[in-house]
Amino acid sequence: MSSRRRSASGYRGVRQCPNGGFYVEIRSDDLRLSLGTYDTTHEAARAFDAAAWRLGRPRLQMNFTDVHTLQQALDLAPPSRLNSAQDRAEHTALQRRLLIAQEDERVMAEWRRRHPEDVAYEQEYWERRREEDTRRRREERLDRRGRKALACAQADLVNAGGRSFFTEEDERWFDIWLSTSDDTNDDDDGADDWSD
């Protein structure tokens, strides 16, 4: 039997699966024997070599030449990854959700093509929302700046030996200072970032 060429994984009998694992199979006469799925190419190649030893293949047809007995090959071959019924059910559910999402995208693209007036209306709506949110944030920022200016003026008055209309027991000054101390820089008058 002639030696087979190595696959894209770099090892004989090893193929990468779409889910990230590495599937191993070996041929025996006209049969393909599945050896399971492994986490790495190295583990998969070791499993191939163990099966090759069992089938009596020459060492030239193996992935590694550092093994000299069947027992060594079996000791180095890891157990295959288990694919339980729950794994298969989760994979099926994931595939179904992916198909639904792809169909949604296709339907929405068709809707946008057929109804450009709805697309324009939606764009106008989001533009209005951005403008309203920007205006509201600017008004809130101006309000905070006004309250902060009042608190600073009261603090300056007290520090200068004047009399504040806040009493010592009144926590309003401290509350005003805390509620206005964030996000009130003079540099904030620029355009606001807004994401939907």
Closest CA to 61 of 20, 109, 21, 13: 13
Rounded to the nearest angstrom, the gap between the alpha carbon of residue 63 and the centroid of all alpha carbons in its chain is: 35
- For residue 53, what pLDDT is reported? 83
Q: Which two tokens stand for residue 62?
A: 């193996």
Ranges of residues in the chain whose predicted pLDDT is under 50: 1-3, 188-196
Name the phi and psi angles at 84, rounded to 5: -80, 175
Global confidence as pTM: 0.40
Q: Which two tokens stand for residue 144?
A: 């905070």
Q: What is the pLDDT of residues 126-136, one digit of tens each?
A: 999 999 999 99
Q: What is the pLDDT of residues 134-175, one digit of tens each?
A: 999 999 998 888 888 777 777 776 666 656 555 556 666 666
- For residue 121, what pLDDT is reported? 93
